[in-house]
């Protein structure tokens, strides 16, 4: 999209009061010298589609979409990116030439954060725990970044297999890089292990098989908090050399949305460090 000197953007969800998106995007705009009005919008299920249409009809510039509306946003978008099509979910909407476009920037955000953590996916063996929307949103960017192998394991292995089946139809060139299994099917040595479930070992008793972490391995939890998550703590006991939570991914996926809307990808270090300090305060 073309750069804009002034723009109205927002995040839509329910609940929405907790969202850090306004703070993140205002920080991005300030760094790049742009004037952006970014707000939180609470919607109900029935009113979401009209809200989106009215926002863009009133010259809205871009929308972020969070739970529970990502699937509705996907259905509403007239043109979707391949990663959004695989995920069946959209977290970024924008209007271009009277066409509503949708993308899912979660996976790109994850890849940027992995690179920051010196865990570039290229040639890595990656184990993903969970086969919901979070996993679907990150597989394509990980493959595009050069992952050697991605294995998706899930309590219901058919859901993991379905992701691979859907991706093979869409991007068959990646077929040889993908494996599916159940939660106990952790055989192999893994460079990056990603918890893509909404809960960790300490909360719901998520019980996967023992994981053989490679030297210099990373255990990455897509959720985040003030302290290391239960998944991160457990990974350290199993031999993970490094651990990280998903705060960096949150900031990086926002930066990817910002880049779609304004044509510039903002620096992310300052706002990530600021949010980390807030969490730990």
- Whether the CB-CB separation of 214 and 242 falls below 8 Å is answered with no
- What does the pLDDT read at residue 3? 46
The pLDDT of residue 205: 52
pLDDT above 50: residue 2:
no
The yes-or-no answer to whether 6-104+248-280 and 119-244 have a common fold is yes
User: By C-alpha distance, which of 18, 22, 85, 76 is closest to 48?
Assistant: 76
CA distance 273 to 179: 36
On the question of a cis peptide bond just before residue 68, with omega within 30 degrees of 0, the verdict is: yes
Q: Whose structure tokens read 């990603």?
A: 194
Residue 26 has pLDDT above 50, yes or no: yes
Pairing status of strand 92-96 against strand 99-103: antiparallel
Please report which helix (H) or strand (E) contains residue 265, including its range.
none
Burial class (CB in 10 A: 0-12, 13-18, 19+), 144: middle
Of residues 70, 151, 169, 176, which has the active-site annotation? 70
Please report, for the chain, the start and end positions of each structural domain, with discontinuous segments joined by +: 6-104+248-280, 119-244
Q: Which of 15-24, 52-61, 201-210, 225-234 has the lowest mean pLDDT?
A: 201-210
The fold for domain 6-104+248-280 equals: Rossmann fold (3.40.50)
pLDDT range class, residue 1, cuts 50, 70, 90: very low
Each residue's pLDDT tens digit, 175-225:
999 999 999 999 999 999 999 997 654 444 566 889 999 999 999 999 999
Q: What is the mean pLDDT of residues 30-59?
A: 97
Look at the block and give the residue holding tokens 């939660």. 183
The whole-number pLDDT of residue 178 equals 97
Determine the pLDDT at residue 56: 98
70 an active-site residue?
Answer: yes
Structure-derived torsion over alpha carbons of residues 84, 90, 93, 95, reported in degrees to the nearest 10: 50
The proportion of the chain whose per-residue pLDDT surpasses 90, expressed as a percent, equals: 93
Closest by alpha carbon to 268, among 31, 21, 2?
Answer: 31
User: Is it the case that residue 80 has pLDDT exceeding 50?
Assistant: yes
Q: Which of 65, 138, 57, 68 is nearest to 102 (CA)?
A: 65
pLDDT of residue 208: 85
Domain 119-244 of CATH type 2.40.30.10: no
19: left (phi over 0), alpha (psi -120 to 50) or beta: beta
Q: What is the pLDDT of residues 166-177, one digit of tens each?
A: 999 999 999 999
Please indicate whether residue 42 or residue 207 has the higher confidence score (pLDDT): 42
């Amino acid at each position: 999209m073309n750069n804009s000197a002034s723009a109205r953007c927002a995040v839509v969800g329910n609940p929405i009061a907790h969202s850090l998106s306004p703070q993140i995007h205002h920080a991005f705009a300030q760094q790049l010298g742009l004037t952006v009005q970014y707000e939180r919008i609470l919607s109900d299920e029935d009113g979401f589609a009209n809200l989106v249409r009215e926002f863009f009809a009133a010259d809205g510039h871009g929308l972020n979409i969070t739970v529970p509306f990502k699937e509705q946003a996907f259905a509403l978008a007239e043109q979707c990116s391949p990663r959004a099509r695989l995920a069946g979910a959209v977290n970024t909407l924008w209007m271009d030439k009277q066409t509503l476009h949708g993308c899912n920037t979660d996976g790109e955000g994850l890849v940027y954060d992995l690179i920051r953590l010196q865990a570039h996916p290229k040639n890595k063996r990656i184990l993903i725990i969970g086969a919901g929307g979070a996993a679907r949103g990150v597989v394509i960017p990980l493959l595009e970044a050069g992952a050697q192998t991605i294995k998706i394991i899930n309590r219901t292995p058919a859901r993991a297999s379905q992701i691979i089946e859907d991706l093979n139809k869409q991007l068959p060139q990646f077929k040889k890089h993908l494996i599916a299994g159940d939660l106990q099917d952790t055989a192999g040595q893994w460079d990056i292990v990603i918890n893509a479930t909404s809960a960790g070992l300490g909360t719901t008793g998520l019980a996967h098989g023992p994981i053989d972490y490679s030297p210099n391995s990373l255990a990455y939890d897509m959720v985040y908090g003030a302290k290391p998550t239960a998944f991160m703590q457990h990974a350290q006991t199993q031999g993970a050399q490094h651990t990280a939570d998903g705060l960096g991914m949150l900031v990086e996926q926002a930066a990817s949305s910002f880049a779609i809307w304004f044509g510039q990808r903002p620096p992310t270090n300052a706002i990530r460090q600021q949010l980390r300090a807030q969490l730990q305060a």
